[in-house]
Amino acid sequence: MTITDITTDAEAEAYARDWKQWHDELEDARRAPHGFLAYTSFNFLDETPRRFDGIPGTWSTGERGPVVELAEGEALVFDGTPVTGRHEYGEIGERTFHRAAFGEAVIELSRRGGRDIVRPLYPDHALRTGYRGTPAYAPDLRWVVEAVFEPEQPRDIPIAAAIPAITHTHSTPGRARFSIDGREYAVTLISRGAEHATLLFRDATSGVTTYAASRTLAVELPTDGTDRIVLDFNRATNLQCAYTDYSPCPLAPAENHLPFAVEAGEKIPLDRTS
């Protein structure tokens, strides 16, 4: 049985239990000691060596990739091995993450939109220790929507970010076409491998009951030779930028701004409602 085959109260109750378990696990992951709620700053690197608050070392980057120069008495731990002095990372890939520990904190180096950035994560950061949770609409089977996947030759598309200095580049595998209240819509998907994609979208609840910038929805692409997919908007989630100013989340492209209210999925985090 698939979720689109649910017809009885017992099946609907089982679906609601599965949804609650999924959301509870999502919330638990957000509270991880070195999860994104622990970010305390966002720092671009360039060719000028700089120190940043809360981060050991002097950092820079260039054609050969990021470099950190650790002063006397400073050390970072990479995979259990302490490193002192000069450490060259070499070129790092887009949307890859490289972490090193110091004390209870972690330094994360990554590349987003073609720019190298460094961010510290402190488990005792107030945003994490005081996290109050994310409310959500009660699961409603009306928001389990059947759609048609329209594949196309994979192509790269520019995607704006929550931090304006960054523009992401993502590959799209095609579009999803579906109907709501007799009207047809088509949205662009972002590739997450051969069998998975992501839908970034805004709707009429954005900035009202849900986070203003975008929400995201995981989509399973067809592998059985059909063109049918399911958009379960009950599992629409917030991106990291809904919680922290230190995340350059991708934003929904214009064609994914839906004119109706998707009253399903996650709402504005409690810590952002003020």
The last residue of one of the domains, among 129, 154, 189, is 129
Same domain, 235 and 267: yes
Same domain, 100 and 177: no
Please provide the average confidence, as pLDDT, over all residues in the chain.
94
Q: Looking at the DSSP assignment, which residues form a beta bridge with residue 216?
A: 200, 237
Instruction: Say which residue the tokens 């579009």 belong to.
Output: 175
Q: How confident is the model at residue 1 (pLDDT cuts 50, 70, 90)?
A: very low
Closest CA to 209 of 250, 269, 267, 139: 267
pLDDT of 61 reads 97
DSSP character at residue 33? T
In this prediction, residues 9-23 reach a mean pLDDT of 93
Give domain status of residue 121, yes or no.
yes
Give domain status of residue 8, yes or no.
no
Q: Looking at the DSSP assignment, which residues form a beta bridge with residue 176?
A: 149, 187
| DSSP 3-state of 141 | helix
pLDDT of 194 reads 85
Same domain, 49 and 180: no
pLDDT higher at 5 or 64: 64
Six-digit token string for 150: 């329209």
pLDDT higher at 30 or 4: 30
Closest CA to 26 of 137, 143, 135: 135
Same domain, 161 and 254: yes
Same domain, 217 and 154: yes
Give domain status of residue 191, yes or no.
yes
The last residue of one of the domains, among 107, 129, 151, is 129
- pLDDT tens digits for 155-170? 999 999 999 999 999 9
- pLDDT tens digits for 214-259? 999 999 999 888 899 999 999 999 999 999 999 999 999 999 999 9
Same domain, 177 and 149: yes
For residue 33, pLDDT over 90 is answered with yes
- pLDDT tens digits for 192-204? 988 999 999 999 9
Give domain status of residue 3, yes or no.
no
pLDDT of 234 reads 98
Same domain, 141 and 260: yes
Distance CA 230, CA 41 (A): 37
Type of residue numbered 87: H
Same domain, 184 and 67: no
Same domain, 80 and 155: no
Q: How far is CA 53 from the centre of its chain?
A: 25
Same domain, 147 and 262: yes
Q: How far is CA 81 from the centre of its chain?
A: 30
Six-digit token string for 131: 């996290």
Give domain status of residue 259, yes or no.
yes
For residue 7, pLDDT over 80 is answered with no
Find the domain containing 75 and state its range: 36-129
In this prediction, residues 34-54 reach a mean pLDDT of 97
In this prediction, residues 54-72 reach a mean pLDDT of 96
In this prediction, residues 108-136 reach a mean pLDDT of 96
Percent of the chain past pLDDT 90, that is, above it, reads 91
For residue 3, pLDDT over 70 is answered with no
Give domain status of residue 22, yes or no.
no
Give domain status of residue 248, yes or no.
yes
In this prediction, residues 1-30 reach a mean pLDDT of 85
Task: Report the Cα–Cα distance between both ends of the chain, in Å, rounded.
Answer: 42
> What is the number of domains present in the chain?
2
Distance CA 183, CA 264 (A): 19
User: Regarding beta strands 183-188 and 67-69, do their DSSP bridges make them parallel or antiparallel, or are they unpaired?
Assistant: unpaired
Q: Do 83 and 71 meet the contact criterion of CB atoms below 8 Å apart?
A: no
In this prediction, residues 22-40 reach a mean pLDDT of 97
Same domain, 89 and 151: no
Distance CA 26, CA 133 (A): 10
The last residue of one of the domains, among 100, 129, 158, is 129
